Structure 1
Amino acid sequence: MPAPSPSKHPIFSVLLTLAISAFGGGVAHALGLPAGWLMGGALAVTIAAMLGLPVGMPDRLRDVAFVLIGLSMGASVAPDSLALLASWPISIAALALELVIIVATTGWMLTRLFRLDPGTAYLSSFPGHLSFVLGIAATGVGNARQIVIIQVIRILMLTIAVPIGAVFLPIDHFPPVAAKAFLSPLQLALLALACVATGLVFIRLRVPAGMVLGAMAAATAAKLGGLYTEAMPPPLVVMTFILTGALIGSRFVGITRAEFAAAAKGGLIATGMTLAIVTIMALGVAQLVDMPFGQIWLGLSPGALEGMGALGIALGYDTAFIAAHHVIRLLMLSVAIPAVVVLVRWQEKKAQESRI
């Protein structure tokens, strides 16, 4: 039996994906774009996937990326972040209102303008909890592939739009404080073990984004508990961004150009509407609380926790604020998604009965 060609070997696919992400990230970083390693890597891998190159991220490497993201977020938590809790209820209330507006308006647009069935339209409109959304779609609610395209376009656009906006818009962003000491290999190994163990517990407890949140919880607890004060080594931070960019871009694998074109227009418009709603809500909150607009925007953004968390690190924001709001968003969606699906099913049944 002939051996598989090198280009078809799984290891080649992984190495190619990481190389493309590193190249794209390096170019974006050289151009001086904020979060360039992350944004450039995600865009480069997305283009490669759409061109049919054999890119991919195995589950084990994906979990490594999740642990590194959580660890990085925990290590960069601002020491005084707990003092800001008193002002968070305002942004949390804005988050709840924002979710209602986003789902209602984008779902209505996709049904009326693009003639998508209600199941596909409203599952595509939910800003996050992709695995939950696709799990429900797999039961026969909506078109799963169209939902994937629209949802991944949302994640990719957010990953690209935030750093570009930081350049051209009056958004405050602060370079991370220059660290004077970095975690040693032994400290990193022990911290990583704690992050993995906590992540597995969170997954067992069915916590949304369990590995990322578990890793962050362990790293944050250790830092606030005084077990370490050192920062993540810069090469490891860059590696984290490269892996995250590869992870985001590789989600386009298996989607044909025809499928992409059919759903992309609706996805772009829905994402544009979502960005406008988030921006308006963030501007309103920024008038009431003393926080950078960019930090509020990332907290209210409908992007993936790992992507927005990585951007928060790159832009020098308080990752505790960002992570807390994304956790709350996921919990809200955990209740809202089944409720909307039940409502859609009820409307479909009612429509069928009226035609009889």
Structure 2
Amino acid sequence: MSLPPFKSLLSLAITVLIAAAGGALATLLGLPAGWLMGAALAVTIAAMAGVPVDIPDWLRNVIFVLIGMSMGASVAPDSLSLLSSWPISLIALAIELVIIVAATGWMLTRIFGLDAGTAYLSSFPGHLSFVMGIAATGVGNARQIVIIQVIRILMLTIAVPLGATFLPIDHLEVVAATRFLGPFELILLALGCVAAGLLFNLLRVPAGMVLGAMAAATAAKLGGLYTADMPPPLVLITFVLTGAMIGARFVGISRAEFFAAAKGGLIATAMTVGIVTVMALGVTQLVDMPFGQVWLGLSPGALEGMGALGIALGYDTAFIAAHHVIRLLMLSFAIPAVVLIIRMQERLAAQQGHN
């Protein structure tokens, strides 16, 4: 197996250094989830400035496994006892998805003049790979869609920890761990997580590496195979790399393209955050859970980003992950259905134009 080219290694080194510097600065400023948020923002700025940042595919898979391991290791032992409260939040999740897609899709179409394909594919809260796969078949403007979607992910990564700090809401303090996994335990856990992630990928489960790794780590913890926590340096590395991965998604997007789609993307994200916040406030009136935890479960952010924030803010990662899995499953059915409706409307419009 040949070694990666020097330029690729240099780009990777630059990316990690920028992410680490951004995370360190945010942490020094006292911002919550600073290593994650600061890394994402720093790499985003670097990418938009033309710095050759890059996260190769093999490292993305490593990051996904690390996130899954960390989420599984952070699962609260009493998570399963809270299952009776989940139907309420899952119903809220289904309702909010309909509202988000309908409202933001309408806004992007009517106010910003985007075609229906671009507007509605941009409005789906998540399942970015599926959305871009459909866009590649000729539905909508793929570059506008990816810009709006990536803006959503970045803004959520920044907004959630800030909201958890400055809004007058209850949120959990991160419980200080007393025991940490040793090197041998980490290797065994990592091997199990990789195997589960590959299996989930073979089964075409959305976000397979993250969910497979989390499933393995959670099962092992709830099964009593380990009780210790992830070593803090490894968790910190996971946050920095996750932030770098989020920021690196802006590579290849010119500033002109970014600013052309940014206004619509920011307004769509603001609308989405507002809808999720209202739903989360409603759910917390009915269930005994922290607002921040419910918000992260209902959030339209990427699983890896919201999962990492859940760890950083001390929330129940099992609740957050389960809701994101259900969200992805709902979107797996909703996206093709909405695209089919758009295609039918286009055909009707074309027929009326000929007549």
Q: Report the TM range for the smaller structure's normalisation.
A: over 0.9
Q: Note if 1:93 corresponds to 2:91.
A: yes
Aligned with 2:123 (options 119, 122, 125): 125
| Cross-structure match for 2:242 | 244
Q: Note if 1:36 corresponds to 2:34.
A: yes
| Cross-structure match for 1:277 | 275
In structure 1, stretches of 5+ residues that fail to align are: none
Aligned mates of 1:240, 1:333 — CA distance in 2: 27
| Cross-structure match for 1:22 | 20
Aligned with 2:227 (options 223, 226, 229): 229
Aligned mates of 2:168, 2:321 — CA distance in 1: 23
SS at match of 2:305: helix
How far residue 115 of structure 1 moved from its aligned partner, in angstroms, is 0.6
Aligned mates of 1:30, 1:85 — CA distance in 2: 38
| Cross-structure match for 2:323 | 325
Q: How does 1:17-166 map to 2 (within 5 A)?
A: 17-166=15-164
Q: How does 1:181-330 map to 2 (within 5 A)?
A: 181-330=179-328
- Seq. identity, %: 77
Aligned with 1:179 (options 162, 177, 191): 177
Aligned mates of 1:190, 1:171 — CA distance in 2: 39
Per-residue displacement from partner, 1:224-246 (whole Å, max 9, x unpaired)? 00000000000000000001000
Aligned mates of 1:63, 1:172 — CA distance in 2: 34
How far residue 83 of structure 1 moved from its aligned partner, in angstroms, is 0.5
Tell me the amino acid that sits aligned with residue 35 of structure 2.
Answer: W
SS at match of 1:63: helix
Aligned mates of 1:291, 1:99 — CA distance in 2: 21
How far residue 31 of structure 1 moved from its aligned partner, in angstroms, is 1.1
Q: In the comparison of the two structures, how many residue pairs are matched? A: 351
How far residue 172 of structure 1 moved from its aligned partner, in angstroms, is 2.2
| Cross-structure match for 2:345 | 347
How far residue 171 of structure 1 moved from its aligned partner, in angstroms, is 2.7
Tell me the amino acid that sits aligned with residue 235 of structure 1.
Answer: P
Aligned mates of 2:282, 2:349 — CA distance in 1: 39
SS at match of 2:330: helix
Aligned mates of 1:273, 1:177 — CA distance in 2: 33
How far residue 180 of structure 1 moved from its aligned partner, in angstroms, is 1.2
Aligned mates of 1:179, 1:245 — CA distance in 2: 23
Per-residue displacement from partner, 1:58-96 (whole Å, max 9, x unpaired)? 000010000000000000000001000001000000000
SS at match of 2:137: coil
Tell me the amino acid that sits aligned with residue 270 of structure 1.
Answer: A
Aligned mates of 1:323, 1:129 — CA distance in 2: 14
